[in-house]
A and B are shown apart, each in its own frame.
Chain A
Amino acid sequence: MNKVYVTAIVKDVPAEEYGHYLPPMKARRMGKLQKRALVTALKAMEISGVGEPDAILNGTAMGCMENTVQLLNGLQAEGEEVNMPTCFMQSTHNTVASMIAIYTKNHGYNTTYSHRTISFELALQDALMRLRTGRIRTALVCANDELTELQQQQPRFFGQLEVQDRSEAWMLSVEPGEHPLYELENVQIIHEKGQEDHAIIHKKPL
């Protein structure tokens, strides 16, 4: 069994750094979440020195809500005459993980978890099992959600689920490298009927 290290954690990349990771020309047609997710992922790759992770995983509680709400509004306004192909193809929950793969031409394992507030932890657990058993040596694990104007105005519009407006990226590796942050020991997932699902990440600071 391999040990698994967290070699980079990136969140809240300042807007002025975006240009360093993503040429404005390429960012032009991307939505806010896509840009933020991609820049966060690219920064984690740069810091860790892992440009081509063996796997890219994303966790998202609600997926790409900006495009989803836009299409719902379109359906409402125009009825079934609505014609929003780009919006639709970028509304699926896996848009972010596959966009990172398309941008970095990465053919590795690629998946997306969308299970309420524990989506990131589920992605982390998947990566951890693959790394431990030697199926892969590095994995980029991300968390990405966005809050639309509709959700900011009416936080309970889609229900009780609390969504954090965030982009976060962790690089995991079976090699500690020069500056490992943690050893990732375990991820615990707990479901009890009628309770909110929760997860615990067991990590040892190094």
Chain B
Amino acid sequence: MRPKVVITGMGVVSALGLGVEANGFALMQGISGIREVRYLPTGHREFPVGEVQLSNDELRRMLQLPDGQLYSRTHLFGAAALREALSMANLLEHKGLVLISGTTVGGMDVTESLFPNPLPEGHPDVHDCGASTNDIADSCGDFDYISTISTACSSAMNALIMGKLMIESGERDIVVAGGAEALSLFHLNGFKSLMILDRERCRPFDQTRAGLNLGEGAAYLVLESEESARKRGAQIFGVLSGCGNACDAFHQTASSEDGEGSYLAMTQTIADAELSPSDIGYVNAHGTGTPNNDASESAALRRVFGEQLPPVSSTKSYTGHTTSASGSIEAVFCLLALKNGFLPYQSEFQNPDEQCITPVSGKKAPQADLRHVMCNAFGFGGNDSSIILSRYE
């Protein structure tokens, strides 16, 4: 029998704040973290963003990291989230941990600030994805296995999927997985070139939606075999009960009309969790706010759930699209929904669209007794992933 994979710690940093508590509060109150750009040195003030409201220096001091060195924001967010997760799971002093982290930007923010000059001679590596993951891990704890997944906007979710596989295969008892991503001029201008950035706050599934807002942040989940968690007497926050990963195999950046890839990812995760669609109490959609994603995802959701569509919402209306980190940030939101018994809702949603599902909206977070929730993350190249988080009982 496969060991049950439970969650014994989590940490998160996003535009909604630092830490699980701050994020949970904003989510329940329906307060958006998307605002005018403040920290990214861009001239594009017309595009609102979901920035973490701390400068690099403030973050560095908070983390007690030495001065006189170049830090990517990816590293700083990652370290903040990882420390919270390890501390919650009582693993800060644990030897021989595993970290699997998703990122695409890595240290690009540092590279672009130096370009066309190279990294100073002798400075530790910052640019590549692996360097940022190693920095995150080594500034927080004792890790003997570190890995980085880079599947664009589904990176962190694929890290969770790999973590579950490692535990189920008996390779390890504890795996920390998630992702970290900073805003960069590189991808802000890249998304601008693709003409999918909204000049107002993004409106996922709304008829007037006109694109996404970029966000940044990090989140990690401590995944653990149930047996190990019980042995350690760890508090259990939920179960990672299902995983699915499929490729849309349609286009590098566009999603297919019928959402084949996301349909396959969602049906796989339901099968992996040994559940049926009617067991799912809430779906945290990928819901970026682009006309194409939301229509395609809605088509896939209708194919999966038919007439019995559970409540769906996109929390990107609060955090912006945190790209590679979105899968784990939104997984934390799902765990909060399970634990605190509420549905994340879109407080600013106004205009239903025939092409789309109608998300949970209103002025207050609806209460809900949730047992199983689904979380989606889709990336460029049709790298579509989906997981199910369940109440531990």
List chain A positions with a Cβ less than 8 A from chain B.
56, 60-63, 68, 71-73, 75-76, 79-80, 82-85, 88-95, 97-99, 101-102, 104-116, 119, 122, 126, 129-130, 132-133, 154, 156-161, 189-194, 197
Q: How far is the CB of B119 from chain A (nearest CB, A)?
A: 5
Least CB distance, B253 to chain A, in whole angstroms: 5
CA A93 to CA B193, docked complex, whole Å:
18
Beta-carbon nearest neighbor of A155 in chain B? B118
Given B149, B169, B251, B252, which contacts A114 in the complex, CB threshold below 8 Å? Answer: B149
Q: Is B353 an interface residue (CB 8 A)?
A: no
B287, CB-defined interface residue at 8 Å: no
Chain B 223-255 interface residues, beta-carbon cutoff 8 Å to A: 245-253
- Contact of A85 with B193 at beta-carbon distance under 8 Å, contacts A80-B42, A99-B381, A112-B150 already known: yes
A residues in contact with B379, CB < 8 Å:
92, 94
Name the CB-closest residue of B to A104. B249
* 23 A-B residue pairings within 8 Å (CB atoms): A63-B129, A71-B189, A72-B111, A73-B116, A76-B115, A90-B252, A92-B381, A95-B380, A111-B383, A114-B148, A114-B149, A114-B150, A115-B130, A116-B130, A119-B130, A132-B169, A156-B118, A156-B121, A157-B119, A189-B145, A193-B138, A193-B142, A193-B143
Closest residue of chain A to B252, judged by CB? A89
Name which of B4-12, B158-166, B313-321, B331-339 contacts chain A.
B158-166
* A-B contact sample (9 more), CB < 8 A, given A73-B116, A82-B189, A111-B158: A93-B104, A94-B150, A110-B381, A115-B129, A115-B133, A115-B146, A116-B128, A156-B121, A189-B145
> Is B194 touching A62 in the complex (CB atoms < 8 A)?
no
Given A75-B185, A76-B115, decide whether A106 and B247 contact each other with a Cβ distance below 8 A. yes
- Report the separation of the CA atoms of residues A76 and B187 in the bound assembly, to the nearest whole angstrom: 14
Residue B43 interfacial (CB < 8 Å): yes
B389 within 8 A of A: no
In the assembled complex, the CB of B188 is this many whole angstroms from the nearest CB of chain A, namely: 8
Render B176-191 as a binary contact track against A, CB cut-off 8 A, 1 for contact. 0000000001110111
Q: B185 to chain A: which residues have CB within 8 Å?
A: 75, 80
Encode B375-386 as 1/0 by CB contact (under 8 A) with A.
000011111000
| Residue numbers in A under 8 Å from B251 (CB-CB) | 102
Residue of A nearest to B171 (CB): A129
Q: Does B127 contact A (CB under 8 A)?
A: yes
Given known contacts A95-B252, A159-B119, A197-B134, A83 and B129 CB-to-CB distance under 8 angstroms? no
Determine if A92 and B380 form an interchain contact, defined as CB atoms under 8 angstroms apart.
yes
| Whole-angstrom CA separation of A116 from B148 in the bound complex | 9
Instruction: Evaluate contact between A98 and B382: CB separation under 8 angstroms.
Output: yes
In the bound complex, what is the Cα–Cα distance between A191 and B96 (angstroms)? Answer: 9
Which A residue's beta carbon lies closest to that of B144? A191
Whether, in the assembled complex, B90 has its beta carbon less than 8 Å from a beta carbon of chain A, the answer is no
**A189–B261 CA distance with the chains assembled, in angstroms:** 31
Which of B134, B149, B248, B253 interacts with A113 by CB under 8 Å?
Answer: B149
Measured between beta carbons, the chain B residues less than 8 angstroms from A68 are: 186
**Nearest chain B residue, comparing its CB with the CB of A130:** B165
Q: Is the CB of A107 within 8 A of B260?
A: yes
Q: Chain B residues near A61: list those with CB within 8 A.
A: 128, 130
CA A106 to CA B248, docked complex, whole Å: 8
Roughly how many angstroms separate A199 CA and B119 CA in the complex, as a whole number?
26
Q: What is the 8 Å Cβ interface bit string for chain B, positions 255-278, against chain A (1 contact, 0 not)? A: 000001100100000000000000
In the assembled complex, the Cα of A115 lies from the Cα of B151 at a distance in Å of 12
Judge whether A197 and B382 touch: CB under 8 Å: no
Complex Cα distance, B246 from A186, in Å, reads 25
Tell me which of A62, A154, A156, A191 contacts B128 (CB under 8 A): A62
Q: Inside 8 A of A80's CB, which chain B residues have their CB?
A: 42-44, 185, 189, 192
The answer for the CA separation of A3 and B9 in the assembled complex, in Å, is: 35
Distance between A98 CB and nearest chain B CB, rounded to angstroms = 2
